[in-house]
Amino acid sequence: MNIQWYPGHMAKTRRILAENIKLVDVVIELLDARIPISSKNPDFDDIFKNKPKIIVLNKSDLADEKISSSWSKWYNSKGYANIFIDSIKGKNINLLKNKMQDLMKDKIERDKLKGRISRPIRTMIVGIPNVGKSSLINKIAGRASAVTGDRPGVTRGKQWINVNDKIQLLDTPGILWPKFENPEVGINLAITGAIKDDVIDTVELASILFEKLARLYPKNLMERYKLTSIEGKTGFELLQIAGKNRGCIISGGEIDMLRIASIVLDELRGGKIGKITLEKPEDIINDTTE
């Protein structure tokens, strides 16, 4: 399954980011804690290479805590500031605010020595579609300051948000990149909802997800869909059994594969299958974070 999806407005967004980077002091790169590799836009490293950066991993409440701990250790070993958050419940938001101010401490002190009045720290939040940027801004700002939604591409233009007298945020639309070199990246993005379902084959995608879960989280898979055995079965075959067990039957007794595929993807994204992380630090072949 080879997924490529790059709407025209994303090329414009990339230009906006490049044009506005000189206006900001700190970049917050928002990743999906379930897929830290696939949710990282490789273009960002080039655009923001000279700016202090905090790697923020959202949706940590849906991720495998043990693997998240491994990721945190990996980022620390590379010297990357990193925080795992839940932008809906507000987990670690205050920690993030403190980290922003810590990164700019030296600059603030230099400005004071030069007699300059301290201005707010200007922060740009960047990330792929549907990773939770608007929800994060709302939590940081303490009010519904940005339009949010559960579908990719809700945030359209750039906007500054005044958090307080110390922090300003620049919100930007989610942006993917023109070509996924690794097919797994497109699959993982589609599974977690960063790519619209209406441009992909959801039955094939759900079948691939079942194969991943059979390998990574077999107990979760079997318990959620009442599978007595997964050994030797393809993802499509397991999806068929799950559809039968869930009563997804159409006329003639056939399995409604579209319906069960939609259910499975929705349940994965909603955390109903369990705390699932699809990528580990050891899955990195080349260090694409630097």
DSSP readout, 14-51?
Answer: HHHHHHHGGG-SEEEEEEETT-TTTT--THHHHHTTTS
**According to the annotation, is 60 in a ligand binding site?**
yes
**According to the annotation, is 61 in a ligand binding site?**
yes
Residue 44 CB partners (closer than 8 Å, separation 6+): 27, 29, 126
**According to the annotation, is 134 in a ligand binding site?**
yes
**According to the annotation, is 59 in a ligand binding site?**
yes
**According to the annotation, is 174 in a ligand binding site?**
yes
Q: Which residues pair with 259 in a beta bridge?
A: none
Residue 14 CB partners (closer than 8 Å, separation 6+): 43, 47, 175
Question: How far is 189 from 185, CA to CA, in rounded Å?
Answer: 6
| Cβ pair 17, 127 in contact under 8 A | no
**According to the annotation, is 131 in a ligand binding site?**
yes
Structure tokens at 52: 């202090």
Question: How far is 277 from 62, CA to CA, in rounded Å?
Answer: 8
**According to the annotation, is 58 in a ligand binding site?**
yes
Q: Cite the annotated binding site by residue number.
A: 58-61, 130-135, 174
Residues marked as binding for GTP?
Answer: 58-61, 130-135, 174
